[in-house]
Amino acid sequence: MGILNVTPDSFSDGGRYTDVDTAVEHGIELRLAGADIVDIGGESTRPGAERVDAETEIARVVPVISGLAAAGVPMSIDTTRARVAEAALAAGATVINDVSGGLADRAMAAVARDAGCPWILMHWRGHSRNMNSLAVYHDVVTEVRDELLERVDEALAGGVDRGQIILDPGLGFAKNAEHNWQLTRHLGVLVDLGFPVLFGASRKTYLGRLLADRDGNPRPVGEREAATLATSVLAAAAGAWGVRVHDVGGTADALAVWRASGAPRLAPDEADKSKE
Ligand code: PMM
């Protein structure tokens, strides 16, 4: 999944694709580089970000989705709002990527049900403005799993087909670096739930911190690509269905190596078994 944020303020590509033609061009580039799907977002979810209204979000994403649909590019809409999802699906998106897993807007389930489209339910505890204060867990892997299963139950109760549900641990969303590493190490716990799992580590803050220089300055966003590729290979080896990334070409190369190696899926470790 290639990332295309049509926002002025996303942490990595914010401000680069606010012009419709540039955004459409980049979406086509992502597709040609090997993306199975391009994820279009019109609202930044970076920690601390202020919300925009639904009209602004729709005005940002719909022209880009229409342009990419005309070019035959498969797309997901990255939104927590049912109205935005509806407009995006009408314009040609075919997947809903809801970082709130249906929590932010309870009307999302009906949109997913009526469209009969895949719905990515990401683990989420609250909007960006205060999500860092929600990063409190006793056992992050078990709690993320259980909270995702609650989202699944609500989606099913809303009439959504089980076969359309995709799960995502939501790295960086109410998670600190250690939480992200735990979720990476034990990704098999989510994979074993039987739903496709999407993994989104691309260029995130915890990778910048991991690669900080001697003075403790985090590695700049644009220089986290090799680390991102490593996370994508780990996720694939743990059984992830997809990875959400900025650098699609590099990811396709890295995954081609992993595939050619024939390396078996990483077995869930003893700690995972004790959670069952
Ligand atoms: N991360 C971001 C936005 N949307 N969607 C899913 N499903 N999973 C993620 O991890 C995720 C997401 C934030 O990253 P960005 O600013 O680079 O888009």
Which residue's C-alpha comes closest to atom 8 of ligand 1? 200
Predicted TM-score (pTM) of the model is: 0.95
Q: What region, left, alpha or beta, does residue 47 occupy, with left being phi > 0 and alpha being psi -120 to 50 degrees?
A: beta
What's the mean per-residue pLDDT of the chain? 94
> Ligand 1 centre and the CA of 173: distance in Å?
9
Please answer whether residues 203 and 225 qualify as being in contact, where contact means their C-beta atoms are separated by less than 8 angstroms. Answer: yes
Q: Domain-by-domain residue ranges, the chain? A: 2-275
Which residue's C-alpha comes closest to atom 10 of ligand 1? 200
Q: Model confidence over 180-222: pLDDT tens digits?
A: 999 999 999 999 999 999 999 999 999 999 999 999 999 999 9
Is any atom of ligand 1 closer than 6 Å to the C-beta of 100? no
Is any atom of ligand 1 closer than 6 Å to the C-beta of 148? no
Is any atom of ligand 1 closer than 6 Å to the C-beta of 76? no
As a whole number of angstroms, the distance between CA 115 and CA 87 comes to 12
**What is the reported pLDDT for 273?**
53
Angle among Cα 108, 111, 113 to the nearest 5 degrees reads 105
Is any atom of ligand 1 closer than 6 Å to the C-beta of 142? no
User: Is residue 42 scored above 60 in pLDDT?
Assistant: yes
As a whole number of angstroms, the distance between CA 154 and CA 103 comes to 9
Q: One of 81, 204, 219, 273 is an active-site residue; which one?
A: 204
What's the Rg (C-alpha) of the chain?
18
Q: What secondary structure, in 3-state letters, does 27-84 show?
A: HHHHHHCCCCCEEEECCCCCCCCCCCCHHHHHHHHHHHHHHHHHCCCCEEEECCCHHH
Percent of the chain with pLDDT over 70: 97
CATH number of 2-275: 3.20.20.20
